[in-house]
Amino acid sequence: MTILVTGGAGFIGSNFVLDWLRLHDEPVVNLDKLTYAGNRENLASLEGDARHHFVHGDIGDRALVERLLAEHRPRAVLHFAAESHVDRSIHGPEDFIQTNVVGTFRLLEAVRAYWTALPAAEQAAFRFLHVSTDEVFGSLGPHDPPFAETHRYEPNSPYSASKAASDHLVHAWHHTYGLPVITTNCSNNYGPYHFPEKLIPLMIVNALAGKPLPVYGDGQQVRDWLYVGDHCAAIRRVLQAGRVGETYNIGGHNERTNLDVVRTICRLLDALAPAPARGVCDVRSGAPVQRYEQLITFVTDRPGHDRRYAMDARKIERELDWRPAETFDSGLRKTVQWYLDHPDWVQRVQSGAYRAWVQRQYGQEALA
């Protein structure tokens, strides 16, 4: 028995692979293109582990995918691979179309050919689990009910539109060809190995370096935050017992404004790594930092910024008995501590290309 994971060197994918092999002996074939956010170092603890077979490749390479399926005969494919950052999609949407739409199409076609040729019993047991996002549903008003699985798709960014397209492709391959698929739509993840262009890791690493903490607009955009370990547990449960053809929302029940998230990170850092004790100075002025909140800097909002996301996760709770184990406070504390404990990982991922991106997105002041 084997599973094939796409995008297993990225943030959520690598956490899933690490947790899977900590809890199971079933081998993992891990296919990842190793773009800027894919990092083999995330998987360093698996070096020499015969249960982990890493393949550097593209989900859009159908011949490669077909070879891996024929060679390893997985009982399931878990599709994490995606271009996933809204800001990057605004500046360069074509990569998102190629990976999230064309790549998913080619993956589905390779998997369909493999699944069709399986013996009847293996066909019935096979699963294609597609990992998606709450952003496909658009934006909520301040008093609107959270997104349910039946909510209308209203994507507002190139990223969310490309993910919505991939969701529709997966559904169509089930409806038309009978491919046994399950889709999950998750809220904002956070936790270890998160590439520091996203809000939470960016704030942590910038604060510790005395750099500005760039907050878009008024900082009142609301997101539902989900600890990545809880997300991985939910995906394992969906793979185990989810109903074919169904969609399951996975949320953390933790709605917070972006500004509240940043201030909470600052308070945690004040407690766990006080700026005066670390000798942190504001890179703009050279003045010693007393409290990390003084580094908060409001920057121009990004185009089309969705105001609020929230997930109704009652279906997965009711049908599969899954609930998040972490509160926002406990998960965020674990996350901040992980970044404090892994400065070398942070330093190595902050390449020249990363610095250029931060400058482009937030301006020279935010890079400092």
Active site residues: 134-135, 159
Q: Is the dihedral of CA 327, 333, 334, 336 positive or negative?
A: positive
Is residue 214 helix, strand or coil?
Answer: strand
Region of residue 222 (phi > 0: left; psi between -120 and 50: alpha; otherwise: beta): beta
Asked if 103 and 87 touch (Cβ cutoff 8 Å), the reply is: no
Contact between 196 and 347 under an 8 Å Cβ cutoff? The reply is no
Cα–Cα distance measured from residue 197 to residue 210, given in angstroms and rounded to the nearest whole number: 16
Measuring CA to CA, how many Å separate 10 from each of 31, 202, 226, 248, 303?
A: 11, 16, 17, 22, 26
Rounded-to-integer distance, Cα 298 and Cα 217, Å: 6
CB 94 within 8 A of CB 69: no
Q: At which residue do the structure tokens 């959270």 appear?
A: 146
CA dihedral 214, 217, 218, 219 (to 10 degrees): -50
Q: Which residues pair with 56 in a beta bridge?
A: 32
Closest among 301, 302, 335, 156 to 229, alpha carbons compared: 335
Beta-strand ranges (E) seen in the chain are 3-6, 28-32, 52-56, 76-79, 127-133, 181-186, 188-190, 213-216, 222-227, 247-250, 255-257, 296-299
For 120, counting Cβ atoms within 10 Å of its Cβ (0-12 exposed, 13-18 middle, 19+ buried), the class is exposed
The letter for the amino acid at 11 is F
